[in-house]
Amino acid sequence: MTQRTERRSSRLSGFYQQPLADRLATVAAWAGLDEAEQSVLQGAGGLSLAQAEHMIENVVGLYALPLGIATNFLINGVDYLIPMVIEEPSVVAGVSYAAKLARAGGGFSTSADEPVMIGQIQVLDLDDLESAAQRLWAARERLLAEADCCDRTLVSLGGGARGLELRPFPHTPAGPMLVVHVLFDVRDAMGANAINTTCERLAPLIEEITGGRVNLRILSNLADRRKATATCLVPADALATGGMSGSQVVRGIVEAAAFAQVDPYRAATHNKGVMNGMDAVAIATGNDWRALEAGAHAWAAREGRYTSLTEWWEDEMGNLRGRIELPVAVGIVGGATRVHPVARVALKILGVRTASELAQVMAAVGLAQNLAAIRALATEGIQRGHMSLHARQIALAAGASEAEVNEVARRLVDEGQITAARAAEVLRELRERGR
Ligand code: NAD
C-alpha cells in the first residue's frame, strides 16, 4: 500500500510532446525502472533469439512492435500508467484522452469476480444421460478432491477446485453427450495449464463413474465466472467541443451506444474498439489475447444475438455514464508474463499485484477505448485525428527515411491525398529537390 500512496499522478501533461528519451525517463522515474529494465524497452522487442527458441517452435527470428504508455488513468482512486503494445495509430492517444475525461468525473470504479476458470470434459457413449449425471453428482466431493491433487502450488496459494456442473446435451450430431464443468480458482495465473491438467486427470475417474467414454478435456475460453467490470462518469461539460455543447455530445454518444446494442454489424466494430485497448495491454503484459478475444465475443453473443460489450447512458444530472462487464482471463504469473522481458517491465510499470487487479485495469482500458472511439465518431469523426499518424505510416511504407517522414506526411495531409502512390511521388520530388 505504501508504494501506492507514494505514486505520483498519471496525469502527465505534455507527455506526448516530449522526445522519446525524455518520455522513457519520465516513465522510469515514475515506475522505478532500473537501467537494465530501461534498456529492455529500448532493444528490438527486448527478447533474445535464445529466449524465443524456448517459447515457440521453428523460430527463425523476432518481430517487434511499438510499446506506448497511456496516461491519465485513475482507477479506484489509484493512478496507473498503462503500457500498450499495438501497431495501430491513435489507440494510445485516444485512450489517454478518454481517461482524462473519466478522470474529470473521479476516474474509473472497477470490480472483478474470483479468478475461477471452467474446464470441460466431454463424455460420450452413455446409455442414460440422467443416471450418469446423478452418479457424477453423488461423487462430486471425490472428483473435487482429485482435482485439488493436480496443482499443489495453486491450492497452497488459496486456489483450487470450486465446483462441478453437469450439462446434458441429449441431441447432438455425435449422439447424446454429457459435458462436465470443473470450476477451478487459478489465483494469479491465466490458468490454462492448471485447468487442462485437471481435466485430463479427472477423465479416467469420470469414465469409471459413468461407464462412458471421455473425448475432449480442455478449458473453456468463455470464462464467464471470471468477469471484470468497470464504470465511469464523464461530466457533460468535459465533453463540449468547439462546435457542440456537452449535452449534445452526451446525446451523440448514447445514440452511438444504442446503435451497437441493436445492430450486430455495428456491435462488431464497437467491440473491436474495446479490444484495441484490452489486447494492447494483454500483449504488453505477455498475456494470451486470443483467449481474451474469444471470451469477450462469446460473452457478447451470450443471449443468442451478438451485441455491445458496453453501455452508455445519460444520468439525471445530464452527465455521461458508462459500464463494461466481460470475461477477462489474464495472469501475472505463468505463460509469457514472466518469460518475456518486456512483459516483466510492463507489469512493473502497471504495478498490479494480482491478476484480478490486472483484469480490472484492462476493463477500465476497454471502457475508455470505447469512449474514445464513440466520442470521436459522434463529434468530428475519427479520420481527422487519425490521418497524420496514418500519413506517417504510409510515408514509411513508401520508403521515407527518419529525416523525410515528417515532410512527406505533412504534404499528404495538406493535400488530403493520403495514398501510397502519392507518398511515393512526394518522396521522389523531395529527393530530386535535395540533389
Ligand atoms: P503456467 O502453467 O505457466 O503457470 C501457472 C502455474 O504457476 C500455476 O498452475 C501454479 O502452479 C503456478 N503459480 C505460482 N504462483 C502462482 C500464483 N500466485 N497464482 C497462480 N498460479 C501460480 O500458466 P497458465 O496460466 O496455466 O498458462 C497460460 C498459457 O496457456 C497462456 O499463455 C495461453 O496461451 C496458454 N494456453 C491457452 C489455452 C486456451 O486459451 N484455450 C489452451 C492451452 C494453453
pLDDT higher than 70, residue 5: no
Q: Say what the pLDDT of residue 383 is.
A: 64
Nearest-angstrom CA–CA distance, 46 and 87: 17
What 3-state class would DSSP assign to 121? strand
Which residue has the least CA distance to atom 40 on ligand 1? Answer: 291
Q: Say what the pLDDT of residue 7 is.
A: 65
Overall average pLDDT of the 378-403 stretch: 83
Amino acid 431 reads R
pTM of the model: 0.91
Q: pLDDT for 135-167, tens place per residue? A: 999 999 999 999 999 888 999 999 999 999 999
Instruction: Find cell 478518454 and name the residue.
Output: 98
Asked about 270 being catalytic, the answer comes back as no
- Ligand 1 contacts (CB < 6 A) are 151, 153-154, 157, 186-194, 196, 219, 221, 288, 291, 331, 333-336
Amino acid 337 reads T
Task: Write the DSSP assignment of 226-254 as a string of letters.
Answer: SEEEEEEEE-HHHH--SSS-HHHHHHHHH
For the four alpha carbons of 247, 252, 253 and 258, in that order, the dihedral sign comes to positive
Q: What is the DSSP letter of 211?
A: S
Instruction: Find cell 474495446 and name the residue.
Output: 274
Q: How far is the CA of 141 from the centre of ligand 1 (A)?
A: 25
Instruction: Find cell 489507440 and name the residue.
Output: 91
Q: pLDDT for 348-380, tens place per residue? A: 999 999 999 999 999 999 999 999 999 999 997
pLDDT higher than 50, residue 253: yes
**Biggest alpha carbon distance in the chain?**
86
Nearest-angstrom CA–CA distance, 355 and 352: 8
Residue 364 CB-half CA count within 13 A? 34
Q: What is the DSSP letter of 334?
A: S
Nearest-angstrom CA–CA distance, 311 and 52: 40
Asked about 272 being catalytic, the answer comes back as yes
Nearest-angstrom CA–CA distance, 122 and 210: 12
Crossing angle, helix 264-284 and helix 289-300, to 10 degrees? 150
Overall average pLDDT of the 286-307 stretch: 98
Residue 389: pLDDT band by 50, 70, 90 thresholds?
confident
